[in-house]
Structure 1
Amino acid sequence: MTESRGLVLIVEDERHISDVQRLYLTREGFGVHVEADGAAGLAAARRMHPVAIVLDIGLPGMDGIAFCRALRDAGDWTPVLLVTARGEEADRILGLELGADDYLTKPFSPRELVARVKTVLRRAAGPPGAPPGSTGRLSVDPVSRTVRRDGEPVELTATEFNLLSHLLRHTGQVFTREQLLAQVWGYPGYRDTRMVDVFVSQVRAKLGDASPIRTVRGVGYSATAPGP
């Protein structure tokens, strides 16, 4: 028997979609639990502590945006993969700003869904190599995956932490958005570079003027070298 990869919670109100998602994730060794509305899904997340959540935005009752906000406000940083319709770009960006880790746009291949779930779990486990213990006013702990600014804890999602850590491990090096998508997200050749900008913005907002991330106009992003 294949060892379980952990429980994935699917929150999706379209039965034919959730059935396919369940089938493919189960084949890959994941346990799967499905809920059809946001409130029940949120209760299940709190009760079952899944390793990842596949979350549709267009849910009855509590939609995916409210779900994500409630989850993060409660300090739950379980990786969330948003599922959106093509016309929901604004909601998709808002979901990322609220702490979602990734998204898929309908229609999508169930194999891509499985690949994305595996990828967000790898990111949650952390990249190889340890980031600096401190840089200027920041303290970064690679073991607990925590960040402190001036001694105060800063809550970062797994993806935000990995982005910051990657840039800090290569201070002074400039990365294009495409390079960051390949090296942090694990999506070589992915075209939607807007996601990088959203996550950089989120990290900067949380770190304030202690953020080491700098924009290199016309190229991408870099991190400044550690200061005193």
Structure 2
Amino acid sequence: MVNPADFDAIRITLKLALVSTALLMLIAMPLAWWLSQLQSRFKPVLEAMVALPLVLPPTVLGFYLLVALGPQGVVGGTLESLGMQHLAFSFPGLVIGSVVYSLPFAVQPLQNAFSQVPQDLLDAAATMRAKPLDRFFSIIVPLTKHGFITAGVLSFAHTLGEFGVVLMIGGNIPGETQVVSTAIYDHVESLNYAGANTLSLGLLLFSVVVLALVYSLNRGAGRMLGGSVGSNTTKPQGGRS
């Protein structure tokens, strides 16, 4: 059975996932577009920096975020000097940690989708005096909506399962910073395997649904973009003999 503390953890987890995903989409959209259009020898370095959370141990990332956001850190110390509270062991701190840790899951699907947009469509729109923002929202966004959906779904799902980062930067304060993953850890420590199993099973089922949805979207998007590219690159059969 799910107890009231677990319901609090579920509520905080969902709130964290929603807020983090919204911020990630706002940050990832211009960053992914810039990376998809960038022609520079430093591009691999920039892409590696964005993808770093994929290979960096969560506790390492969480530790440095804790140092930065804590009372002695650059961010936390500055806030305290201004009469405000530092961000360690708080919900805003959890949001910052989640955004940093899930950034690749938002940027990479968008960057891949942007890279597949036929350039001739953008060139044609430019000849019709469409401004860059007009081209982006009238051509690019409709053609890459699958990328936005994939980025949003993966970011949301990844936030639900975070453990190392949220434990380091948020602690495990019931009703404030305790999320589902840390609640499972508490249940296991107290040998409450039934409670841990209930929460774990919920995350497991949700993960399967999310992955099935993402693979389905990617397969459909591949057919759609393939048809779009094909229709724009097909040449007339008739020609000079």
Give the TM-score of the pair, scaled to structure 1. 0.28
Of structures 1 and 2, the one scoring higher in RCO (CA 8 A, sep 6+) is: 2
Higher fraction of helix: 2
Give the TM-score of the pair, scaled to structure 2. 0.27
Larger radius of gyration: 2
